[in-house]
Amino acid sequence: MPQYLISVWHDEPYDDLDWASPDMQRRGAQVSEFNALLEAESAWVFGIGLRPASSATVVRAVGGDVSMTDGPYAETKEQMGGFWIIEAADLDAALDWAAKAAAACEGPVEVRPTEDA
Amino acid sequence: MPESLDAIFRREAGRCTATLIRVLGDIDLAEDAVAEAFALAAERWPIHGVPPNPGGWITTTARNRAIDRLRRESTRTDRHVAAHRLYVEDADGVAGDHAPELADLDAFVDVVPDDQLRLMFLCCHPALAPDAQVALTLRLLGGLDTGEIARAFLVPEATLAQRIVRAKRKLRDNHASYRVPRPAELPARLHAVLATVYLIYTEGHTATTGDDLSRVDLSREAVRLGRVLTELMPDEPEAVGLLALMLLTEARQPARTAGDGTMVRLADQDRSRWDRSLIAEGHDLVRDCLRRNQPGPFQIQAAIAAVHADAATAAATDWAQIVALYDQLYALRPNAVVALNRAIAIAELQGPVDGLAALESLDPAPLDDYQPYHAAHADLLARAGRPEAAGAAYQRAIDLSANPTERDFLRRQRAALADLR
């Protein structure tokens, strides 16, 4: 069955998330519910939230030389905050899951098909 | 007189391509096969005569050619073909990766009327950008070549070709299904299809005339697509409403330009030049919609066009009815353009001062780059006795207009302001 990446995007950089805040509590509960639904419908492959983009390191290995730079690769305000890999019968089924994901996270998500395994 | 090959191609290409996509599960293979079949027809038909069912002949020939090719190439490409097939639902309406074996393809080829519908929903998938939806619809359902579409939209052919290639690749990469949406999905998906057809219509309607005879008639193609849609979905009042709107607008086409090619406004049109048979057909469709009592934006716009068509003279127009219809439209689609048209109707009903007040109460930000807003503003200012302000508004409208005929009209309107001063 085709697999799709559903990534969650933040319009502004975020630092440590305050999981105790009512906003985060609500979203956390919604995401747990969404995850359970993915599992129940056998659509779940993997999914996880990410620490802030400021915690990222870019590593390059060119001709045996390894170099590292601090920060995310894409120097844009908008950064990925987490993602799922799901299995879905077709594009419309994947977009249905994406709509539920966007509602659960209360933010935009992006859907991309994976290369065929 | 026998139909020309060209006319047959125009009529049958979309239907044949739609069926072949279902049979082959691949847009490019289907297009190649249909093109090959038409090339064969161009060779044979002038000698042997046109077969009794030309569309059936093309579909069967295209199917046979494609199967031959697939068999020749099968050892090499089986896996590739299977991996990249569009998903075709089985008879139970279940999408899945049960690509038919080559031997089973014969069973798949019966012409199914739903094929054209599947193709419309595929071409107008909301995951595609609107300009890609338009290009793909004209390419696959209209059978237009990329050069024709590019000229119609005044974009370079390479840009248009790239747009179509990307759209097809996106659908394939994403495993888009070849199916008619389920009832729950239908309203949103149907709206995308109707909006695309209407976009094709309006592009044809406002296109510059005369300066490029090789441009295809997009309005006519949109009306044809609208007819196909209403045949396939007779119970969708919005599809019927869209067809009615296009027919009633098309009916006014002969009166929209004067003998010297200049544009004539609705109020000044010679109504004896309106196409009565299109108006009659449009009226029937509007009445048919109203009986169902499921109003939607296209039906209401068609009803507005029907009120205009009813009036023997511009002065006899039932503006109260038109304002009421715009109110109803605004309730469904509260956008700035609807509000602008409502303000124009109020000017006709209650006078230019009230119309100007309604227009100037709108938030100008979303309308600032919209030529008809400045043209309407200018007209109302002039009629309200404010020629200086009207001149500035006409200038803005002229600057925004991309259409020489329209620009010429606006310049003449501005020149006429001198008589008011």
Contact criterion met (CB < 8 Å) for B174 and A1: no
Q: Which residues of A touch B (CB under 8 A)?
A: 1-2, 4, 89-95, 111, 113, 116
The pLDDT, as a whole number, for residue B81 is 54
Concatenating the DSSP letter of every residue in A47-100 gives: EEE---GGG-EEEEEETTEEEEEES-SS-SS-EEEEEEEEE-SSHHHHHHHHHH
pLDDT in tens, B252-299: 988 988 887 778 889 899 999 999 999 999 999 999 998 999 999 999
Q: How many angstroms separate the CA of residue A21 from the nearest CA in chain B?
A: 35
Q: Is B25 on the interface with A (CB under 8 A)?
A: no
Specify the 3-state DSSP secondary structure of B189: helix
**A4, A90, A111 member nearest B95 (Cβ):** A90
Nearest to A91 among B83, B97, B175 (CB): B175
CB A74 within 8 A of CB A68: no
> Which of the residue ranges B14-18, B111-115, B213-217, B244-248 would you say has the lowest mean pLDDT?
B213-217
B417 and B391 in contact (C-beta within 8 Å)?
A: yes
B176 touches chain A (CB under 8 A): yes
In angstroms, the CA B83 to CA A86 distance is 18
By the 10 Å C-beta count (0-12 exposed, 13-18 middle, 19+ buried), A6 is classed as: buried
B87 and A90: CB-CB below 8 Å? yes
Q: A-contacting residues of B 180-219, CB under 8 Å?
A: 181, 185
Instruction: Pick the most confident of B70-74, B348-352, B401-405.
Output: B348-352
Which of A80, A112, A115 is CA-nearest to residue A98? A112
CA separation, residue B131 to residues B16, B137, B401 (Å): 24, 10, 20
* pLDDT tens digits, B30-64: 999 999 999 999 999 989 888 888 888 999 999 99
Backbone angles phi, psi at B85, to 5 degrees: -65, 145
Tell me the per-residue pLDDT of B360-407, one tens digit each, with 9 for 90 and over: 999 999 899 999 999 999 999 999 999 999 999 999 999 998 788 888
The minimum CA-CA distance between A52 and chain B, rounded to whole Å, is: 29
Whole-angstrom distance, CA of residue B413 vs CA of residue B263: 11
CB-nearest partner of A92 from B84, B173, B177: B177
B169-186: per-residue pLDDT in tens?
999 999 999 999 988 888
Residue in A with minimal Cα distance to B180: A92
Give the A:B interface size as CB pairs under 8 Å.
33
